[in-house]
């Protein structure tokens, strides 16, 4: 299994005959990197089944233009949160929070977000991949107290449910301006995924190295991976955790 960094919160999981593309952002967000991003997705989708998953409709997480686009895959399926306005049809599955779906070769569990849409836990074979979308502890000091209370309440309620799962790879929002990286440290402490990869860094991938430096020594049971460039491949295996 490999994780390929695209941009911001977007990673591509590649394993066997499958590719899972999480939160591919809009072309407005990608700008001049749009063509390169498409080519990376195409490279890892050829001769594979491609599953495109969108956690919610924010432009940094959602690109409707890629739905139905020819990316060289054998088959293409799309999973979208209900807030995107889509309806389930043909190869499109629309999901709601706190549900379990068996879709094609995947088992997909969804959780409430602390912002919009859902967080995903995708089971593929004997591995599970968590993607937080915008699920985080968004306790900005400028928010009204009642909103801060609700955000923290939902964060812990969902984390309690996620704690029942064994997670191999976790893509988790890491906000450097908030205590505990906006809940990322709480996630690692309580969930203990095999691998943790920080996301939602707005292109400042050097923050992924800072995240690793601060937390790896505190949580040795979890392998924290950092990255620097679009297209970088992270190896997800017991015997080989090094970056290509």
Assigned domain for 160 exists: yes
Q: What is the pLDDT of residue 210?
A: 98
Q: What is the pLDDT of residue 182?
A: 98
Q: What is the pLDDT of residue 35?
A: 97
Q: What is the pLDDT of residue 9?
A: 98
Q: What is the pLDDT of residue 237?
A: 83
Q: What is the pLDDT of residue 90?
A: 86
The total of structural domains in the chain comes to: 1
Kindly report, residue by residue over 156-199, the tens digit of the pLDDT.
999 999 999 999 999 999 999 999 999 999 999 999 999 999 99
Q: What is the pLDDT of residue 181?
A: 98
Assigned domain for 241 exists: no
Assigned domain for 127 exists: yes
Assigned domain for 196 exists: yes
Assigned domain for 242 exists: no
**What SS3 string covers the chain?**
CEEEEEECCEEEEEECCEEEEECCCCHHHHHHHHHHHHHHHHHHHCCCEEEEEECCCCCCCCCHHHCCCCCCCCEEEEEEEHHHCCCCECCEEEECCCCEEEECCEEEEEEECCCCCEEEEEEECCEEEEECCCCCCCCCCCCCHHHHHHHHHHHHHHHHHHCCCCCCEEEEECCCCCHHHCCHHHHHHHHCCCEEEEECCCCCCHHHHHHHHHHCCCCCCCEECCCCCCCCEEECCCCCCCEC
* Range of the structural domain that residue 209 is part of: 2-235
Q: What is the pLDDT along the chain (244 residues), one digit of tens a residue?
A: 999 999 999 999 999 999 999 999 999 999 999 999 999 999 999 999 999 999 999 999 999 999 989 999 999 999 999 999 999 998 999 999 999 999 999 999 999 999 999 999 999 988 999 999 999 999 999 999 999 999 999 999 999 999 999 999 999 999 999 999 999 999 999 999 999 999 999 999 999 999 999 999 999 999 999 999 999 999 998 334 333 3
How far is it, in rounded angstroms, from Cα 102 to Cα 104?
A: 7
Assigned domain for 243 exists: no
Assigned domain for 213 exists: yes
**Residue 176 main-chain phi, psi, to 5 deg:** -65, -20
Give the CATH number, domain containing residue 186.
Answer: 3.60.15.10
Assigned domain for 240 exists: no
Residue in 176, 184, 96 with CA at minimum distance from that of residue 136: 184
């Amino acid at each position: 299994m490999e994780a390929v960094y695209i941009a911001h919160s977007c990673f591509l999981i590649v394993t066997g005959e499958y590719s899972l593309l999480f939160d591919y952002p809009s072309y407005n967000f990608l700008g001049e990197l749009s063509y390169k991003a498409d080519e990376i997705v195409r490279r890892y989708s050829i001769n594979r089944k491609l599953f495109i998953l969108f956690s919610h409709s924010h432009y940094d997480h959602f690109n409707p233009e890629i739905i139905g686009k020819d990316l060289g895959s054998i088959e293409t399926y799309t999973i979208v949160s209900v807030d995107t306005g889509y309806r389930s049809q043909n190869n499109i599955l629309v999901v709601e929070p706190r549900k379990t779906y068996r879709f094609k070769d995947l088992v997909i569990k969804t959780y409430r977000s602390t912002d919009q849409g859902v967080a995903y836990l995708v089971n593929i074979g004997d591995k599970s991949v968590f993607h937080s979308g915008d699920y985080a502890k968004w306790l900005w000091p400028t928010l009204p107290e009642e909103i801060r209370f609700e955000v923290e309440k939902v964060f812990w309620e969902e984390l309690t449910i996620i704690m029942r799962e064994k997670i191999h790879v976790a893509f988790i929002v890491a906000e450097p301006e908030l205590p505990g990286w906006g809940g990322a440290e709480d996630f690692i402490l309580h969930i203990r995924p095999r691998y943790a990869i920080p996301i939602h860094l707005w292109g400042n991938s050097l923050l992924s190295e800072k995240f690793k430096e601060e937390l790896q020594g505190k949580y040795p049971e979890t392998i924290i991976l950092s990255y620097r460039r679009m297209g970088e491949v992270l190896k997800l295996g017991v015997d080989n955790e090094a970056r290509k």
